[in-house]
Chains A and B, each alone.
Chain A
Amino acid sequence: MNISKVAETLEGSVVAGDSASGREVGAVVASDLMSDVLLVDADEMLLLSSLASDQVVRTAHVVGAMGVVIHDSKPLPASMLAVSEQLGIPLVSSPLSKYESCVRIHQALESEKNG
């Protein structure tokens, strides 16, 4: 599942970064605590968070994440969009809650796996 498909699944849109990135979701982490995200050793992580700050994108870049999703249509600071563009991390804004997003992503990944 690439970032465009993630945005579509979560009824959102890619608001910064490369929306045509061909990178596929390798793992999913949902957290507002960046300290926790830094503990995860997984390739091509999709990071789901309710925290709309530059540091979420910086953390995503450090751990090699393929994209970031911010929930509940939270307003995104201009600096966050700029960091996202600069580091090449696609940023998705979704109106769904974090719980609903996790469920939808899980279902979509399972569906891909099965068929």
Chain B
Amino acid sequence: MDERQRQPAILPPPHPSDDEVIDRHTAIPTTVGGESPLVIMELLQRMKVRDVMRKEITVLSRRDTMSRAQELMRKNHISGIPIAENGRLYGIVSVDDIIRALTGGWIDDLCAKHMSTHLIVLEADMPIAFALRYFENYKYNRFPVLDRHHQLVGLISQRDVTRALLYELTVAINRLESKAAPDNPAPDDPAALYACREYPVVHNDLENAGKAANDIKRLLREHKFDTRLARRIAVAAYELEINICIHSFGGSLTFMIADGKATVVAKDTGPGIPDIVWACQDGTSTANDWIRSLGFGAGMGLANSKRVSDRFDIVSVMGKGTTVTCQFNLPAGTGADTAAPPPARQGA
């Protein structure tokens, strides 16, 4: 075995993507009433495993020996080492495995032979609430964390969660205390109807998905839009918002009223839709079980958005992203001949 193989690999912290940056930003809770129990509940939902996990971790390959694992555990004061190659996780060597190797006389065998291969892993995009449930259900001290491409990106322990929660809680309380007034006009402001509103939508942030659609619906109700028309617009906005959240890397939802039309534009940053005709059919979906357990992912989003719209356009480029535009004709006198002012950004 050459020296290069013997050196433990240190996984570099992944370069933060745009959605990670946005997610960090939105991890600060805005609660109703600002009560601390709600702040904690929201933190558990909004903070993701990737915000908390340790990204710089010691990793060995299957060709390393159990004694090498023992040495690193002692040196680094750790109780488990993932066995991975090129980001792919094959197993874990724990203190228990080392004790068995010492008593059984196979401490010089390869990790590949004695590592634990029955692994429970967490996904980087999962909420912290999920991680806490895993700690309670499985009684392990740590879990390996995989990204959406099934690559090992970190480890998470209960201690990591506690430390991050305490930090975020302090930040959240400070933020709540000095909460600034919103920069968008209130829904009941006459000017609010014609303001172009843009809402960021974060990948897998299902706890916040729907806020944009709820805000649009509230705006339309405040301005006495016809109930059925308001419902059609809100349904399209909601379906598209959920779609960005569960199927894309993240993006934004924009709503505007001008020239007698209401327009909802959903724009994401990828990965793109390989077959638009297929994706627009009822019942076609690539959603996972987690999404389905929350009541979505039935594959009706695009089809339903199209059904409720007067005009529906979709453009998708693989690797670049997808833009969906839903347009609604407004009754004469509503929003007609009114130019929208420059966009005012609003957090979802």
Contact = CB atoms under 8 A, between A and B. Distances in A.
Interface of A: 32-36, 38-39, 41, 43, 49, 51, 53-56, 58-59, 61-64, 77-79, 82, 85-87
B294 A62 contact: no
B295 interface: yes
B38 A35 contact: no
- A contact face: mostly helix, strand, loop, or mixed: helix
A94 B267 CA distance: 40
17 contacts: A32-B295, A33-B295, A34-B295, A36-B298, A36-B300, A38-B239, A53-B294, A55-B210, A58-B210, A58-B211, A58-B213, A62-B213, A63-B234, A64-B230, A77-B41, A82-B32, A82-B33
A78 B210 contact: no
B206 interface: yes
Contacts of B298: 33, 35-36
Contacts of A55: 206, 209-210, 294-296
Contacts of A34: 295-296
Contact of A38 (B37, B42, B206, B235): B235
Interface in B248-282: none
B154 interface: no
B295 A43 contact: no
Most buried by B among A51, A79, A87: A79
A56 to B, nearest CB: 7
Contact of B38 (A32, A39, A79): A79
Contacts of A79: 38, 41-42, 45, 207
B207 A64 contact: no
A98 to B, nearest CB: 14
A24 to B, nearest CB: 14
A53 B295 contact: yes
Contacts of A87: 214, 218
Interface string B197-241: 000000000110111011001100000000110110011011100
B301 interface: yes
A58 B230 CA distance: 15
Contacts of B238: 38, 58-59, 62
A35 to B, nearest CB: 4
B300 A39 contact: yes
Nearest to A37: B295
Nearest to A42: B231
A61 B300 CA distance: 19
B206 to A, nearest CB: 7
Given A59-B210, A63-B231, A82-B32, 13 more contacts: A33-B298, A35-B295, A36-B298, A41-B231, A49-B295, A54-B207, A58-B214, A58-B238, A62-B214, A62-B234, A62-B237, A64-B231, A85-B32
B304 interface: yes
A103 to B, nearest CB: 23
